[in-house]
């Protein structure tokens, strides 16, 4: 009989250790099945790079929502040109109209938000001389035509033209 067998048979104190070894081996076997094959240490090393490599591609494939104004300019040429000739040229179309996503397929129509709240984001007068905010012409919404939509008088694409 080999020596190790004799040791186990004679000294019962070894038995709990054998049980523990079996548990450890079991965990390692489960690991082989459970952990994804591409899980490992990436280029960033062990501390900053332990991860499942496939996740990087998953994030790269995330759907893009905002398409940029180049998409808008062909079909919406009039408003596009108007906007580009006004101080509002610095604002992206999608800032006010929401993300294009797959427009004109889905959504068929983008949001036209005529609320005062949208304009007040920049045009609520805040007395902050040390910030770019002070450069923007602002109003006090309680004093300047309260309750009426801004777009009733101002064309959002060229706000100071043709004021009604």
Q: Would you count residue 79 as binding other proteins (CB under 8 A)?
A: no
Alpha-carbon span 32 to 42, nearest angstrom: 19
CB atoms within 10 A of CB 9: 10
- CA-CA distances (angstroms) from residue 8 to 13, 18, 26, 47, 125? 8, 9, 21, 41, 85
Alpha-carbon span 105 to 60, nearest angstrom: 23
Contacts of 14 (CB under 8 A, 6+ apart): 7, 8
Least distance in angstroms from the C-beta of 137 to other proteins: 12
5-44 binders of other proteins (CB under 8 A): 11-13, 15-17, 19-20, 23, 25, 27-32, 34-35, 39-44
Phi/psi at 57 (nearest 5 deg)? -65, -35
Least distance in angstroms from the C-beta of 25 to other proteins: 8
Locate 94 and state its tokens: 């999608």
Q: Would you count residue 84 as binding other proteins (CB under 8 A)?
A: no
89-128 binders of other proteins (CB under 8 A): 90-92, 94-95, 98-99, 117, 120-122, 124, 126-128
The site for other proteins, by CB under 8 A, has a size of 69
Binding site for other proteins (CB under 8 A): 2-4, 11-13, 15-17, 19-20, 23, 25, 27-32, 34-35, 39-52, 55-56, 59-66, 68, 90-92, 94-95, 98-99, 117, 120-122, 124, 126-133, 135-136, 141
């Amino acid at each position: 009989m080999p020596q190790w067998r004799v040791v186990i048979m004679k000294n019962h104190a070894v038995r709990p250790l054998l049980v523990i070894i079996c548990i450890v081996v079991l965990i390692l076997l489960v690991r082989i099945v459970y952990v994804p094959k591409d899980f490992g240490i990436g280029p960033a090393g062990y501390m900053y790079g332990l991860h499942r490599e496939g996740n990087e591609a998953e994030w790269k494939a995330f759907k893009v929502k905002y398409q940029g104004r180049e998409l808008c300019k062909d079909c919406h040429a009039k408003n596009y040109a108007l906007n580009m000739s006004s101080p509002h040229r610095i604002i992206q179309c999608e800032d006010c109209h929401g993300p294009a996503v797959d427009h004109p397929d889905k959504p068929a129509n983008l949001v036209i938000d005529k609320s005062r709240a949208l304009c007040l984001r920049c045009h609520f007068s805040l007395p902050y001389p040390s910030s770019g905010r002070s450069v923007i012409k602002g109003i006090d919404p309680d004093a300047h035509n309260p309750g009426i939509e801004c777009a009733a008088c101002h064309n959002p694409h060229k706000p100071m033209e043709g004021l009604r």
